[in-house]
Chains A and B, each alone.
Chain A
Amino acid sequence: MVQNAEVSGNINSNGIEHKKTELSRSNHNLVTVKNLKKYFPFTKGSLFNRKKGQIKAVDDLSFNIRKGETLGVVGESGCGKSTTGRAILHLEKPTAGEIVIDGVDVTRLTREELRCMRPQIQMIFQDSYASLNPRHAIGHIISEPMMIHTDMKQSAMKERVMELLELVGLNPNHYGRFPHEFSGGQRQRINIARALSLNPKFVVCDEPISALDVSIQAQVINLFQDLQKELGLTYLFIAHDLSMVQHISDRVAVMYLGKIMELTTRERLFNTPLHPYTQALMSAIPIPDPVKERQRQRILLNEEVPSPANPPNGCVFNTRCPVAEEICTRSAPEYREIETGHFVVCHKVDAL
């Protein structure tokens, strides 16, 4: 089964010792996504809202996330990275597909069952200011998940809030302050504290550092890594900053127009990218090293990303691909495992 290539690949590697990749910290999959689809209908006309078509924001994704690992998702704006994260957490109801988190298929849960599942799966948003209620003290903001999901006493909650503030590197005595009294980096720490308040297993981080300055980014990234080590968290880390993604991730998925183009370990992705899109993306990252910058050859992609409402036939990348051939405009390439743990969607990958 082609679309399940990665899933079956992992079942194999469970059985056969030598097929294990070095980086798999554990072979236990915490999250398994199979054929995930999320289509948004778009309508025309103000009165009757006639359905005109659909935007395939996420189209047939299959991957898994191992326990304790960080899976990075990169791609240009509009490629469906955020929708993927939101669909996994059921913030958007997926159009089709299966999402198994810790052995439970969340797509089949009722509302109430899903609510009970929520403490284990949390999200950190990009805009740290918009995601905190400006009228609540941060102590209240951080304890809100506990009020909803647990029957902890007020005093126990306060203690837990202070513990969390300490954990994310804020002064515990600031629990009575309001979001506007904190800087961007500190607000992102508050968001992290709130996400961690119920001891989640899985956290989706949707561009958590994009709005921060370089020196603050480093602080927050280090915090993410420390917390992962300390609490055994599993991350889905969505970002457009490729250099940060390669820094924090164990494996990285590259998305383009709602599809995964390549998925592999970060070392392989950054040293030997196979998909022409990944290669172009890698060559476009600015490197803070003048000599390396002067020596490098940029692969400039012409044109811009096609509209997801009207994606190209065949391979979605064929309109910008430097090596596209006739076959690429006719049939969509399959999601194949080229080597253990290295998935590529391209007709020409063997030739490259």
Chain B
Amino acid sequence: MAKILEVNDLITRFYTFDGVVHALSGVSFDLDEGETLGIVGESGSGKSVTMMSLLHLLPTPPARIEGGKALFYSNRNEQNNNTDPVDLLQLDKSGIRKIRGGKIGFIFQDALSALNPVMTIGRQISETLIEHLGMTVDEAKKRSIELLEYVGIPEAEKRFSAYPHQFSGGMRQRTMIAVAIACNPEIIIADEPTTALDVTVQAQIIELVQRLKKEMKMSVIWITHDLGVVAGMADRVLVMYAGSAVEIAPVDDLFYNPGHPYTIKLLGALPKIGEEGQHRLESIDGTPPDLLSPPAHCQFAWRCPHAAEKCWQAVPAAREISPGHHAACFFDFAARRP
């Protein structure tokens, strides 16, 4: 399958008064056309920073992107048949504005603060259409109402002139999705879009995004901390820890044959549904390292039950342990299991 996005060795740092925060130290992954990539990790692991770095959404200063490449192979190039990739990190302000919100849509976690409270829902969707597609106000209105209907908001015509506070959490998230898909993007990046929602509404939103993905032939990057959500919708999963990608694998490999001790521990820390009797959860002792002074060895070493001498000396590079399954660990845990 053709690649649509290829990120290589992305390094982002924050220059603060307390020192340099090493938010991302060399993250690499790629995204295929039409696939859903799940990104999981704990808070502070760099999931959101990765995506925000790509789209220039981080305030600079304090943030600075210090290295890496993010090649975007756009194949819906209207002007010419140019299929040369664009390096998102090298684009200037006007260059990224054409892509952000146009070819790459973004869904934020907190729909209430992502939407402008003093602007009607309709105007916020129209704005994108006018800006990127050059529609007139009337065209944009007509299209906005269609979009609202498309994402499942009842009485769309009436809701067009409503304000965000008049919407429920689920409806606000649907509005965000309408804005994100307005320009028929090639990639949708969803940053914890269901974390603030109740499970029943979460199920609705996941269903919606999966339907849209199929109908509009998009690729989806879904950032979450919930491994359960990832299991249900992702094709491949990237696990992040302390600013680096520790494992990337097809979803089944990751869940049934994890290759990094962090992933193994994380899966053990989840309660099993419907089990008989009470058992103890496997917990990961300790907390993630301080990114102000990240260790020069494996980030996970001091929480890792298998840490050996070499883990304290060097940072392990990602290795391919089976086709498409990469883990950043010196040892091969996946192969040890039958």
Contacts and interface: CB of A to CB of B under 8 A. Distances in A.
A and B form one complex: yes
Interface of A: 76-77, 183, 185, 213-219, 221-222, 225, 240, 242-244, 246-247, 267, 270-271, 280-281, 283-294, 298, 300-301, 304-305
Closest 3 CB pairs of A and B: A286-B228, A247-B271, A218-B269
Nearest to A282: B273
Contact of B274 (A271, A281, A290, A298): A271
A298 B200 CA distance: 10
Interface string B277-305: 01011111101000000000000000000
A247 B281 contact: yes
Contacts of A280: 200
B252 A185 contact: no
A304 B271 CA distance: 28
B229 A286 contact: yes
A213 B271 contact: no
Contacts of B207: 298, 300
B203 A215 contact: no
Nearest to A293: B232
A6 to B, nearest CB: 23
Contact of B199 (A215, A242, A247, A292): A242
Given A76-B201, A214-B225, 12 more contacts: A77-B198, A218-B269, A219-B285, A284-B199, A285-B199, A286-B232, A287-B273, A288-B228, A288-B255, A289-B231, A293-B228, A300-B204
Contact of B231 (A221, A242, A290, A300): A290
A293 B266 CA distance: 18
Interface of B: 42-43, 168, 170-171, 198-204, 207, 225-232, 251-252, 255-256, 265-267, 269-274, 276, 278, 280-285, 287
21 contacts: A76-B198, A76-B199, A183-B287, A214-B270, A215-B283, A216-B42, A218-B284, A243-B270, A246-B271, A280-B200, A281-B200, A286-B231, A288-B227, A290-B231, A290-B256, A292-B231, A293-B232, A298-B203, A304-B168, A304-B201, A305-B198
Contacts of A185: 287
Contacts of A213: 42-43, 225
B266 A215 contact: yes
A142 B201 CA distance: 39
A290 B252 contact: yes
Nearest to B277: A267
Contacts of A300: 200, 203-204, 207
A267 B276 CA distance: 7
B155 to A, nearest CB: 12
A284 B271 contact: no
Nearest to B267: A288
Contact of A218 (B170, B200, B231, B282): B282
Nearest to A216: B287
A342 B19 CA distance: 58
A244 B199 CA distance: 13
A270 B274 contact: yes
A338 to B, nearest CB: 20
Contacts of B171: 304
Contacts of A294: 232
Nearest to B235: A290
B256 to A, nearest CB: 8
A237 B276 CA distance: 19
B295 to A, nearest CB: 17
Given A213-B43, A246-B271, A281 B283 contact: no
Contact of A285 (B228, B252, B278, B280): B228
B265 A293 contact: no
Nearest to A74: B199
B280 A225 contact: yes
Nearest to A221: B281
A294 B255 CA distance: 13
B286 to A, nearest CB: 9
A48 B49 CA distance: 50
Nearest to A296: B232
A169 B165 CA distance: 43
A319 to B, nearest CB: 13
A225 B278 contact: yes
Contacts of B251: 290
A246 B272 CA distance: 9
